[in-house]
């Protein structure tokens, strides 16, 4: 088979999502299906599928006078069906597994983010610390997604693909106390 038929890619959204946009929040009991990929195929792409996923982050700050006294955060791993697509003529379960792992990697970094948030303490610079941490997590997630595709050659290298699946499952298990609900 030709290489171009197996090239896969992902799209990572950091900011600026439409609040009315359809999303699927990561859940260990729900795995993606090809029906979740609702976006239009990119006719100029050799890819079979594209997964659009990212971390949604929000926070609120409680103050007493001008002093910050507490903060609360929300972190979710989302899949964006209308920005994700697949070529149904070429798609198969193996490729769907590759795309699911992109979403699982997003969840892994949501867990890492939640874990790191527990280490922050209320102080007058908490807003800056939250934003800095958010940017760092997004950078790390983006690099891991790129490394996953590069090392697995977009799923073509089945041995490396399997190694990544095992690695991500182990890492998710290590951080299960921080999983999405």
Residue 87 lies in a domain: yes
Give how far the C-alpha of residue 31 lies from the chain's centroid of Cα atoms, to the nearest Å: 14
Give me the domain span that covers residue 73.
10-178
pLDDT tens digits for range 143-181: 999 999 999 999 999 999 999 999 999 999 999 999 987
Which H or E run contains 5? none
Whether 51 maps to a domain, the answer reads yes
Number of domains making up the chain: 1
| pLDDT, tens digit, 9 for 90 and up, residues 96-143 | 999 999 999 999 999 999 999 999 999 999 999 999 999 999 999 999
Alpha carbons 145 and 160: distance in angstroms, whole number: 14
Could you give the angle at which helices 158-174 and 126-152 cross, rounded to 10 degrees? 150
1 within domain boundaries = no
Does any domain span residue 39?
yes
Looking at the domain assignment, is residue 142 inside a domain?
yes
pLDDT by residue (tens digit) across 65-93? 999 999 999 999 999 999 999 999 999 99
What pLDDT is attached to residue 181? 78
Whether residue 105 is contained in a domain is answered as: yes
Q: CA 160, CA 106: separation in Å to the nearest integer?
A: 19
Per-residue model confidence as pLDDT tens digits over 6-51:
333 334 333 345 667 899 999 999 999 999 999 999 989 888 999 9
Q: Is residue 5 part of a domain?
A: no
Nearest to 32 by CA among 70, 87, 80, 69: 80
| 80 domain-assigned | yes
């Amino acid at each position: 088979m030709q290489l171009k038929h197996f090239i896969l890619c992902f799209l990572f959204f950091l900011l600026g999502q439409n609040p009315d946009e359809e999303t699927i929040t990561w859940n260990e009991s729900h795995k993606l299906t090809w029906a979740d990929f609702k976006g239009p195929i990119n006719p100029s792409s050799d890819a079979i599928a594209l997964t659009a996923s990212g971390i949604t982050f929000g926070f609120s700050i409680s103050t007493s006078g001008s002093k910050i006294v507490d903060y609360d955060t929300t972190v979710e791993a989302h899949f964006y069906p209308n920005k994700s697509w697949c070529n149904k003529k070429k798609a198969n379960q193996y490729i769907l597994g590759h795309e699911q792992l992109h979403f699982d990697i997003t969840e892994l970094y949501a867990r890492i983010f939640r874990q790191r948030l527990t280490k922050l303490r209320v102080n007058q610079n908490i807003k800056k610390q939250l934003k800095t941490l958010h940017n760092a997590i997004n950078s790390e997630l983006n690099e891991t997604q790129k490394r996953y595709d590069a090392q697995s050659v977009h799923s073509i290298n089945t041995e490396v693909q399997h190694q990544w699946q095992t690695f991500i499952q182990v890492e998710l298990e290590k951080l299960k106390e921080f999983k999405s609900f």
